[in-house]
Structure formats: structure tokens, C-alpha cells
Chains A and B, each alone.
Chain A
Amino acid sequence: MLDWFDSNEALIQSALALSILGFSVQLALRAGVFSLAGVGFWAIGGYSVANLVGDGWSTPLAIAVTVGATLLPALGLALILRRLRALYLAMATFAFVLIVQIVALNWDSVTGGPVGLFAIPVTVSTLGLLLVVIACAIGLFFWERGRHGRVMESLREDEQLAASLGVDVPRERVKVFVVSAGLGTLSGSLNALMFNTLTADQAGFGLITTVLMVIVLGGTRAWWGPLVGAFIVTWLPEVLRFAEDYREVIQGAIVLLVVVYAPGGVVGAVRALRRLVRQPPRRLLAFNSGVKEAAE
């Protein structure tokens, strides 16, 4: 068992770090805030901690300060974009991510330009990463529960209704945006201090599509969706190794099929199974109650 962990440690680390980015996007999407800005903050977080730790800062302090400091620009961005919805918001955050990438490509002194940063001190252990992921998971578990969970649900499904029920919609959306950005920063910070390199091409279109795949395959309707999704996405190239050159094709096909035919991802599939086991199909129930009514 331990051998498996050892030989797959890098993959496990990748998956765990990716899952935090997955949490970032899932949290936003679930509240109806179509923000991919977390990916941009992933890059900002990575470069920031790399520089701080390189200057001698302690890791926990570097991460804490980075996450804290980026909350302010995240708030600014949220306020600037607050009137945008759905695809327009997605595009704006998409553009933000790519602008960050361009800055990264050009700001040589901080980011190493196109060459990137190498030999970043490795100061995050797998255990540390795991603890952070668990903390995030617990946070998300409570985030989507009870009163707060219901409010988030109403934000996504029916904003007008939410407003008429007393939900301060603009404020909640900004809050979601900022928390999502913070998780992105966290993910990028941990990633940089774990894998000791960071190049600008890691944080663009490719990462956006990767995290979207994490969300789709894992499912958005539960806190554990991004976790499962991150592991699937990280392991998929391994599993598909036999396909060699057709790996991308199969990956794309899987995403397509899941989105069209199993839109809930793994979360959706598990829940559908549970419901099937618990309740007989609705049509049967309705037939029964119809018969009952006619008999009365």
C-alpha cells in the first residue's frame, strides 16, 4: 500500500493541489457566479510565494500574507465586474486570466519572464497539502449546508426570488467571487512550493480547460465533486497511456459525453444511484396513488 503512495506521490500531489483550484471554481459556479478568475489568482499566488519564500520568508507566513493580500484586488475585480452575468462574466474573467499570463510573460524580474521560475524551494509536504485540502473540504462542506447553502442555491437558480426573500444579491455575489479568488491563490501558492517550478504557460487556457474538466467530471453539486474530479483528471493521462497519441482525443470525448449524458458528473451519478435504490421509479408511485384516489 505504502509503495503505491510512494510511486504515485507526484500524481497525488498534483491532484490535491488541483482540487483546491477545483473548489475555487465550483464554489463560484454553484452560486451562479461564472468566474474563472481563480486561475489568474493561481498564477499570482504562485509567483508571490515563490518570491517571498525565496527572500527567506517562512512558508506559512508567505502563504497567509499572499492569500490575504490578494483579497483586496479580488474585491476590486469583483466590484468592477459586478454587473456582468453568465457568459459575459466568464469571458471577462477569462480575459483577466490571460492578462495575468501576459504580465507574467513580461515581468521578468518577478516571474522570470517566458523562462519562468525554477528552483523554487520545496517547502510544502504532501501531508501539509493534504491537511489544507481537508480544511478546504470541511469549509466547503459547511458552506453548502443549511441556511448558507440554501442562500447560495437561490443565488444560482433565481436571483430575483432571492432578492425578494431578503438576500443581498450583489453583496453575496461579491463575497463568493472573493472567496473563489482566495482559493485560487491558495492553490497556486501550494502548487509553486510543491513542484518548485512555475512557468507562465502553465497558467492560461490550458489550466482553464483543465479545471473545467475537473468540475464536469467530478460534478458541482457536492463539496467532494472537485476532489474526485481532480483525481480523475490527474490520473486520466496515466490510465489512457495505452492510447498514446489519441489520449487528448479520448479525454475530449469523455468530457463531451459526460457533459451531454451525465451532467452531474460523479456526484450526479452517485446521487442518482442512491435515489434509485431508495425509491422506486416515480411513475410507479404515481400510478399507485392514482389508483388509490380513484378508489376513494
Chain B
Amino acid sequence: MTLLQLENVKVWFGGVRAVDGVDMRLEEGKLYGIIGPNGSGKTTLINAISRLTHVTAGRISYRGSDVTNAPPHLVARAGMARTFQSIRLLDHLTVRENVLLGTDRLGDHGGGSRRAALAAAADAADAAIERLGLQSLAGQYPDSLAYGTQRRVEIARAIASGAKLLLLDEPIAGMSRTERDEVADVLRALRADGLTQVLIEHDLRMVLRTCDFVYVLNLGRNLAQGLPAETVSLPEVQEAYLGRTHAGA
């Protein structure tokens, strides 16, 4: 089933055409990669999908409904979660509280008391923390954590929300090789659980190892798409990157 569909989506900021006619179709349960050189519009596209930025033209449908002009909190509550390029954790909350924040405004699922909902949320948060190997750090504050660890907390927060669609914007930047592999394992496990994921990445090794399908963007438009290995070796894709390949940085 098609979870997310983008039809000729354009996001313009005055004269700057960050996204200039992108089409995408995301099937449920798959792990997608979005790659492309800097400035190709990847982050703006994610911002548009998560509704943090306006859409100038085109259509975004989520689960069949048109969300092109929906406010961000609505798509979030409908099961979309995302991380950002920069670390966005709240300094005055502990790791556990930051992860819990992911569950806080999703409403109470189904009937059942508030207490049950809170307990379920706490369970989801703790499960996410365990999944990302953060149990021993749950009581710490973000400013005492390493960069890569902070990123893991953000991923945990996104997972804890119980989202069906995960948008991850360069989630492994600043991580060691080991950490990257661990995150790759987590993402694959999530896919096995049925989650749909979109990964913006520069680390092509990561993309090749985890993604089912890849979209390549350049200058705000679709450049190519297909299976990771084939697509990445297309001459036009290589040329777009022009010697800045990050095969395992």
C-alpha cells in the first residue's frame, strides 16, 4: 500500500527553488534512501513532507489523504516522525524525558484510561531507549553526552512515538563506524517490524546496506531512482556528486 505520495511537489522561497518538481511514491514497510549533492533539496523536501515548510505547488498525500497544507502537528499525530540535521534535544530534560516527549502529544490510542495511556507511553519510551542501547544513560542530560549518542536519543524519540513513517535526516552524521553499524541494525529491525523509513544520507555505504530503494535528487528535482547499487553507479548520479563520494567516511 502506498503510504506517502508526492506529486510534482515544489517548494520555492522567493527566487530560490529549493524543491522544483519532485515525484515520489513510498510503499509501506520499505526503507527508502534519498541521496544527492548538497543543496539538492533533500532537507527542504523532508520539511515539506513533515509540514514544517509551505508547499508552493504539487500534492502530498499520506495514507490517501491530501496533507499538502496540513499543520505539522496533524501529520505528526497521524503517525509521521522525523529527526533533524542538527541535534534538537531539550537541555533541561533527561534522556528519558526527551524520549518521552516523542509520545506526549499523540493522544490516547483507542479507549482506555489516561493512566493506561501514560503507562503505554512509558513502555514505548523505555523500549525505544533499550533498542538504541541507551539504558545506562536514561537519567543523564543531553549536554553530557557524546554527539553520536545524542543522535541515538533523537532516533529513540522518533521510534517511541509509535510512528508508522520515520523521516531521518542524516541520522548517523558524527557517529563512529561501530555506531553507524549499530544504527543500521536498528533500522533494519524496524523495517522488519513494518515501519516505513526514509533516510537522507551522504554515507553511501549506509545507503547500500540498508535501503530497499533510492531516490536521487539534484537541484531540487528527481535525477534518478531505483535499487541502491544500480542507481548509485549510474553515470549521471556519479557526475552529480562529482568526486565527492563518501563511500564509508
Contact = CB atoms under 8 A, between A and B. Distances in A.
- Do A and B touch (CB < 8 Å)? yes
A150 B82 contact: no
B161 A168 contact: no
B191 to A, nearest CB: 22
B161 A166 contact: yes
A147 B82 CA distance: 20
Given A154-B101, A166-B106, A282-B144, A161 B88 contact: yes
A169 B77 CA distance: 13
Q: How large is the interface on B (under 10, 10 to 19, 20 to 34, 35 or more residues)?
A: 20 to 34
A151 B76 CA distance: 14
Contacts of B102: 165
Nearest to B53: A160
The CB with the most chain A CB atoms within 10 A, among B52, B88, B100, B104, is that of B104
A238 to B, nearest CB: 34
A150 B76 contact: no
A201 interface: no
B91 A157 contact: yes
Contacts of B88: 158, 161
B132 to A, nearest CB: 17
A163 B73 CA distance: 5
Nearest to A279: B144
B104 A147 contact: yes
Nearest to B121: A147
B72 interface: yes
B118 interface: yes
Interface in B41-97: 50, 52, 71-73, 76-77, 81-82, 84, 88, 90-93, 97
A167 interface: yes
Contacts of A288: none
A7 interface: no
A28 to B, nearest CB: 17
27 contacts: A147-B100, A147-B121, A150-B90, A150-B97, A150-B100, A150-B104, A153-B92, A154-B90, A154-B101, A160-B52, A161-B84, A161-B90, A163-B71, A163-B72, A163-B76, A164-B52, A164-B72, A164-B81, A164-B82, A165-B105, A165-B157, A165-B161, A166-B73, A166-B77, A166-B161, A167-B73, A167-B104
What 7 A-B pairs come out closest when comparing CB atoms? A166-B105, A166-B76, A163-B72, A166-B77, A168-B73, A167-B105, A147-B104
